[in-house]
Structure 1
């Protein structure tokens, strides 16, 4: 990777390519107009394909999402040597493991601008020795960074309350998010009535049912246990509802309960699709997003659903309670409260006028507040201001 013209080098690092593909979709290609961009992640073949698809350079570093000290040390040394050789102006990391490895390597290599986006704090759902280790790692990541970008104001508040970093090091870009949302892509008008009828038919979802949808990893911390429990109670009251779960299980990392797993696999009105590259068709055939997560940064799923005209039921956690204005484009419920979730889900089933009112506001708010192209320019402005300040040091 060589410096081309007057463009400085920008290294963007995530633990796995999936984060580049989904969380930062389109962003690195845009930035490549202004910097020589290299994407760094694990999973070499998928990373190479990402680079080809997005017209950016890539560098493979094997990273894991677990606590693996020996592998992490090898990744750190490999990345350090790469950064020392390339001498980028900016290293910008995302996700916890890429954060600690990337910020440490960048600090050791003397990279002037070391930026880290915080898009959630998994450690908040841990305790004991593991929490102690993760606390230490998070603080070290923030210490080595020159600037930190929580992707929600609630997350910024949590970081300050935990005393992980000083206020002057923190900045929320725009109104939040790590990448905004492409509302021309997430547009319900692209899907005809005929298409929606056919997709429901293919999935065996009755045409007359009200469909609740969840999109994301099917794991405990996303509130899947509570969601399935709430849905099964509603189904006892009225059979004309379905639950559509779009996403992969991670039973090895954060398993749902055996009861929940059994219900998902055997309940006649719970439907699963596994991981889907394009989730828009599934939003198009649904009526309400149910997203009872325990923790988030700034969830893309909520913005996507709103852009597709779906009202959202979300937990009262940072990110979710910033995207959703209660009783405007969705309803906010307490965390880990299956009864509250059930009550709101039933309300939106039994009161179509309320559901319609929330739906009417949903897309408008996403277009006004979180348009993707606008976010890219906000981030580019931040880079250029930091670059100018660095050159005047």
Structure 2
């Protein structure tokens, strides 16, 4: 059985972005998960029945620490002799692809689920551009997780089209449409959780799920909601996710509003987001950049229409007027008007909700995506055999 190594910078990506995938692949390959945060990684391995190997990595630019990580991975690869190394996230990509290339790993694959560098400028942007190009050069194949992201990569000149492939209609992992199913939640259960959170029974709830940082559009979302609630009192904003105060922090004004506004509710990080989606009415996701966002697919599977920014991934999952609304990036007024329209037109909102779940079940089922990726591995194996 071939050895397959999957690498992410932190275990959270294994838990959320690749949920269930490594366990599935373990039936066909000898899978090892590599990431930082040793204790959390080992817990992930126990919970998912896969081997793990700890390597210290961070999302920041740390050249000396990164070289140490490359050396540790190189020695591990030389010892273990994996057939496939498949990386995710920028730091894991450059560290993993460099070590795999030096160690002579036959198949070096990298999935691109977004380009953080698009929000940077100056010297940092030039450094990140170089790192991105170098990562792609070291890999044997690159998988953008959306068609629009592939176009951006080609436009930026990071690699040639021959190295790029989008699996299916996009995504890094698909969606478990049986797990994310509004039918699993009773109205009475949703009402109980609303009461626990202090949300009135008849409020229209706008939900955001993800890191509470500027690049997710939280500053704009909080301002738009403040304006909306000033006009329409039976509205609430539910923010589900961790507040990150070091990288890309929110403005002081936004933090104060989140703290003081009676209709803005925060839950912190939640392992299971389904109960919060089940009690909500609309996903608001005004992010500045994404790859192919799981949250938008999860919300759709749970029967929620979405308001998303006009960026790659979001504008591929959401079709304007069919399963949601697409607004310009960083546009508070457009976000406000879209939210207002969702409140003022309940019958239209329900039509969007029905179409939202249909879109996900038809195009992004998780098991089908896993099979697609497994067949991709097998095809690459055959291609390599035939060329040798």
Deviation track 1:346-387 (CA, whole Å, cap 9, x = no partner) reads: 000011111011011011110000000000000000000001
Does residue 62 of the first structure (1) align with residue 56 of the second (2)? Answer: yes
| Equivalent in 364, 370, 387 of residue 381 of structure 2 | 387
TM-score normalized with structure 2 length: 0.99
Does residue 125 of the first structure (1) align with residue 128 of the second (2)? Answer: no
Deviation track 1:328-347 (CA, whole Å, cap 9, x = no partner) reads: 00010111100000001000
Q: What does residue 376 of structure 1 align with?
A: 370
Deviation track 1:110-145 (CA, whole Å, cap 9, x = no partner) reads: 001000000000000001111111111111100000
Q: What does residue 141 of structure 2 align with?
A: 147
| Equivalent in 334, 337, 357 of residue 343 of structure 1 | 337
Does residue 365 of the first structure (1) align with residue 345 of the second (2)? Answer: no
SS at match of 2:221: helix
Deviation track 1:26-64 (CA, whole Å, cap 9, x = no partner) reads: 000110111100000001111111111111111100001
1:12-161 aligned at under 5 Å gives the runs: 12-161=6-155
| Equivalent in 190, 209, 212 of residue 206 of structure 2 | 212
Q: Distance in 2 between matches of 1:43 and 1:210?
A: 39
In the TM superposition, residue 251 of structure 1 has moved relative to its aligned partner by 1.5
Q: What does residue 352 of structure 1 align with?
A: 346
Q: Distance in 2 between matches of 1:391 and 1:89?
A: 12
Q: Distance in 1 between matches of 2:44 and 2:254?
A: 35
In the TM superposition, residue 15 of structure 1 has moved relative to its aligned partner by 0.4
Does residue 178 of the first structure (1) align with residue 175 of the second (2)? Answer: no
Gaps of 5+ in 2: none
Q: What does residue 239 of structure 1 align with?
A: 233
Q: Distance in 2 between matches of 1:25 and 1:193?
A: 27
| Equivalent in 320, 325, 329 of residue 319 of structure 2 | 325
Q: What does residue 295 of structure 2 align with?
A: 301
Q: Distance in 2 between matches of 1:184 and 1:389?
A: 35
In the TM superposition, residue 193 of structure 1 has moved relative to its aligned partner by 1.3
In the TM superposition, residue 14 of structure 1 has moved relative to its aligned partner by 0.3
SS at match of 2:268: coil
Gaps of 5+ in 1: 1-6
Q: Distance in 2 between matches of 1:138 and 1:205?
A: 44
| Equivalent in 310, 316, 324 of residue 316 of structure 1 | 310
In the TM superposition, residue 391 of structure 1 has moved relative to its aligned partner by 1.9
| Equivalent in 222, 226, 238 of residue 220 of structure 2 | 226
Does residue 189 of the first structure (1) align with residue 183 of the second (2)? Answer: yes
Deviation track 1:271-310 (CA, whole Å, cap 9, x = no partner) reads: 0000000000000110000000000000000000010000
In the TM superposition, residue 238 of structure 1 has moved relative to its aligned partner by 1.2
SS at match of 2:34: strand
Q: What does residue 193 of structure 2 align with?
A: 199
Q: What is the number of equivalent residue pairs in this alignment?
A: 387
In the TM superposition, residue 75 of structure 1 has moved relative to its aligned partner by 0.6
